[in-house]
Chain A
Amino acid sequence: MRNILTREQAVLEAGRCLYCYDAPCEKACPSAVPVPEFIRSITTGNLKGAMEIITEANPMIDICGELCPAFCQDVCTRTQINSPIRIRELHRYVTGNADMAENLEVPAAKGGKVAIIGGGPAGLACARELRLKGYSPYVYEKDKPGGIPMQEVSSGRLPEDRAGRETGFINDNFVSGVIDEDVDSAQELLKSYDAVFVSAGLAEERDLGIPGESLKGVYKAREILRDIKNGVRSKAGKRIGVIGGGNVAVETAAALKAEDPSRDVEIIYRRGMKEIKAFADEIEEANELGVTFQFMSIPKEIKGGGRVEGILLTRAHLGEPDASGRRRPQPVPGSDFTIPLDTIVVAVGQQADKAFPGISRKADGLIDTGEDMMTNIKGIFAGGDIVRGASTIVECASDGKSAALKIAKFIEGGVMNV
């Protein structure tokens, strides 16, 4: 866990803030946290005020304090003078030192029930905003509330007490009921609710699509993360290859190395360091732990007889940019090589499953919504990863917030006949 700034450090850092007008940091934040305002409150010693500013804008304040990629810092005006304000650390200084439940005022429920499918950041954020508007949100969640941050993100990156405090705060104050049931049909729920918000996340992990994937010793990344999070010692062995270049790949590698530092953990990625999609601070943390990187390597076949014994790779060079704007890896002929491994973890992305029949999907399997965040079925809204694809907590929380506004409008009759 990262240290929280001392008062002296926080006040000095906050004093560097220029207090920009029309601040780029605030505009870059998916949850539109009024960054200069809360930093100003730090400089005046108004910690409770700072807490209120952050919490009103962002329902996931503790989790974001630890895990947010801090888009705000990338655009900080101060960078043009020397270095950006450490906004996330100031955020964490505030949230780590103030009580978000103090002075809380929740309006009386005025009728209007909403079913929320999935209690992750998008679902909980939506629940909170709906409750603040006087509606009663019911969350369908079979697992621990809090979604991926609570179920999969390793406690090294997100200490339980920090995340638990926040999800508990939302559950206790804003959720009218948690229903421990699977939902087969969102349409069915419309019979007993005024609206439904689907925020079930991405249930499936993609395969590599190469021979040998069914061998013993091949795992999916989120399965490993869940094990580690639940305190079950993961099945992984001593020489581990994690395949992929996203945040999940880097995080899984880091968690495996942290769980047992005597393991060799290597991230195997098709492209170069420049193309890697994981956030810089995650890569830095993995590096610190001793995770190594095998760049420019395309997996061809997982080798082994019954159990994994190694992986056959081909060297890549980078060709023309693909649809994502990153240069496409192309195999270098005659460059095959094998690395001996006893475990392979596949972390090449997630996809939506086929749940919720009748709700229309796009070609990539993600739910199709309009500007109003409503699906093809009137009264059923969707947001979070199941609409965006794998994304950040702050983006999902922002979806939940926006969806609550649209749902409230819908219930009030604003878009009933659209």
Chain B
Amino acid sequence: MYKKKDISVDFLGIHLENPFILSAAPPTDELEIVADGLKAGWAGAILKTTSVENNPVGLKYPMMSSFGPQARKVTGLGNIDLISQYHIDDIEKRVRILKEAFPDKMIGASIMGSKKEDWQGLVRRLKKAGVDLIECSFSCPQGSMGEAPGRMLAQSIEATEKVAGWVKEAAGDTPVLIKITPQVTDIVEVAQAVKRGGADGITASNTIPSLMGIDIDTFQPYPSLRGKGTYSGLSGPAILPLTLRTIAEVASNVDITISGNGGAYSWRDVVQIMALGAGNVQFCTLPMAYGFRTIEDLKSGLAHYLSDKGFASPMDIIGKALPNLKQHDELPSPYTRAELADEKCIGCGLCFNSCRDGGHRAIDWDGDGRRPRIDEERCVGCAMCMQVCPVDAIRMKEREDDWTSYFVIGR
């Protein structure tokens, strides 16, 4: 009964009904599951990374672990997963079946190889099967089959350029994305290498190599497999700021198409990722945690946001935030002070406590009235008090004689 706004995008010449893609991960590792995801409304899928037959994949379980501020709420999700156990024969078949069943959806495939003939052989077979897009995993944090085993391909500038070139050579007019890692000294160099290699775009980025935790009774790392553990790839809302930075650095410095990946959990995250330069956004942890049904609020939220802001298409927001991104020494120096909205304050004292011990002692505490009082003389405007206020009663303001403005700190 309500009008639905068109939120389709064009990405590397592929028409997507919305900018939400299922990334190369467990939800795209079984034909039936990925088909359900596409039916639910996701615009496309990149099938979980495959390789050539002679590379055995030894998955180990339990595989997943997580942390979060509330019990069993996934803020950061860790996995010790590897690439798909299905090899190219199966993936080739699936691409054919999915393309036939979903001609309007984007069917991509992720590949990983070591030798030139592996990479190019995989590409040729997928291309023949009718794949819309090829993504190359240069950044699986749980081990790589690149030139130097145990090291990610994208951590070598030379290897990145060379392999990107091999893949693009075989792919011809089929678009190629290179999936990179932020775990490098200079992400811009890697992105430039991808571009020099001739790939069409970059997937920025991937899970982040992490150690999910240690059981303090037994000193076993999480997840613990008979007492032993290893490093996980971290995903979920916890890594969104890392992803934003990776995308921003690439988009600011290299003219190349970006597919955003890592930490998107809602349409708000999508807007941010696209505003920093991504042309679409990949999802894995959200559907893994709450199911494919999560597409509904992504579509509805983005559509309403665009209408409210007067944007005709999601493509209109790509890169919108980049002009506002500066180096620290280029930032202005505002005169800012904290301001308390007395009617919102509930008297918890957290702002006082944090300012007292956090270095500025610019808030006084009226214990009888249970109210903080900000001393504008001592306040430097750091905004720490605002971070701990549970009811958003504190804002950072700048005031001249005839105007007042408030700073956007984020939330």
Contact = CB atoms under 8 A, between A and B. Distances in A.
Interface of A: 8, 19, 21, 37, 40-41, 43-46, 48-49, 52-53, 55-56, 103-106, 132
**Main DSSP-derived SS at the B contact region:** helix
A104 B1 contact: yes
Contacts, number: 53
B266 A44 contact: yes
A41 B3 contact: no
Interface in B286-342: 290-291, 293-294, 296-297, 300-301, 303-305, 307-308
A392 B198 CA distance: 66
Given A41-B297, A103-B2, A105-B3, A48 B304 contact: yes
A45 B301 contact: yes
Contact of B297 (A40, A56, A106): A40
Contacts of B296: 37
A21 B289 CA distance: 11
Contacts of A104: 1-3
B301 A46 contact: yes
Contacts of B376: none
Nearest to A128: B1
A1 B290 CA distance: 36
Given A104-B1, A105-B1, A106-B1, A45 B268 contact: yes
Contact of A132 (B1, B303, B308): B1
Nearest to A9: B391
Contacts of B307: 103
18 contacts: A37-B297, A40-B294, A41-B297, A41-B300, A41-B301, A43-B266, A44-B301, A45-B268, A45-B301, A46-B297, A46-B301, A48-B300, A48-B304, A55-B2, A104-B1, A104-B2, A104-B3, A132-B1
| Residue of B268, B293, B297, B305 with highest tally of chain A CB at under 10 A | B297
Given A56-B1, A103-B2, A21 B300 contact: no
Contacts of B268: 44-45
Contact of B291 (A21, A105, A106): A21
A98 to B, nearest CB: 10
Interface of B: 1-3, 266-268, 290-291, 293-294, 296-297, 300-301, 303-305, 307-308, 391-392
A11 to B, nearest CB: 10
A19 B266 contact: no
Nearest to B267: A44
A56 B300 contact: no
A58 to B, nearest CB: 12
Nearest to A131: B1
Contacts of A43: 266
Contacts of A21: 291
A37 B392 CA distance: 26
**Main DSSP-derived SS at the A contact region:** helix
B1 to A, nearest CB: 5
Contact of A49 (B1, B294, B300, B392): B300
Contacts of B294: 40
Nearest to A42: B297
A56 B294 CA distance: 18
A46 B267 contact: yes
A153 B330 CA distance: 63
Contacts of A44: 266-268, 297, 301
A30 to B, nearest CB: 19
A83 B296 CA distance: 27
Contacts of A19: 290
A200 to B, nearest CB: 26
Nearest to B290: A19
B379 to A, nearest CB: 24
Given A44-B267, A44-B268, A49 B301 contact: yes
A41 B268 CA distance: 11
Contact of A52 (B267, B293, B300): B300
A169 to B, nearest CB: 12
A166 to B, nearest CB: 14
A43 B301 CA distance: 11
Nearest to A102: B2
B391 A8 contact: yes
Given A49-B303, A106-B1, 5 more contacts: A19-B290, A37-B293, A41-B300, A43-B266, A44-B266
Nearest to A34: B296
A56 B2 contact: yes
A105 B391 CA distance: 38
A41 B3 CA distance: 18
Contacts of A45: 268, 301
A52 B297 contact: no
A48 B293 CA distance: 18
B301 A103 contact: no
A104 B1 CA distance: 6
Nearest to B301: A46
| Residue of B1, B290, B294, B297 with highest tally of chain A CB at under 10 A | B1
Contacts of B291: 21
A105 B2 contact: yes
Nearest to A55: B1
Contacts of B303: 49
A132 B2 CA distance: 11
A85 to B, nearest CB: 14
Closest 6 CB pairs of A and B: A49-B300, A46-B301, A44-B266, A48-B304, A105-B3, A103-B2
Contacts of B391: 8
| Residue of B2, B293, B301, B305 with highest tally of chain A CB at under 10 A | B2
B75 to A, nearest CB: 12
A106 B2 CA distance: 8
A14 to B, nearest CB: 12
A262 B367 CA distance: 41
Nearest to B289: A19
Contacts of A105: 1-3
| Residue of B267, B294, B300, B305 with highest tally of chain A CB at under 10 A | B300
Nearest to A41: B297
B305 to A, nearest CB: 8
A103 B3 contact: yes
| Residue of A45, A49, A55, A106 with highest tally of chain B CB at under 10 A | A49
A347 B406 CA distance: 58
A45 to B, nearest CB: 6
| Residue of A19, A103, A105 with highest tally of chain B CB at under 10 A | A103
A43 B267 CA distance: 11
Nearest to B300: A49
A147 B156 CA distance: 73
A101 B391 CA distance: 31
A106 B3 CA distance: 9
Contact of B392 (A8, A52, A55, A103): A8
A40 B289 CA distance: 13
B184 to A, nearest CB: 32
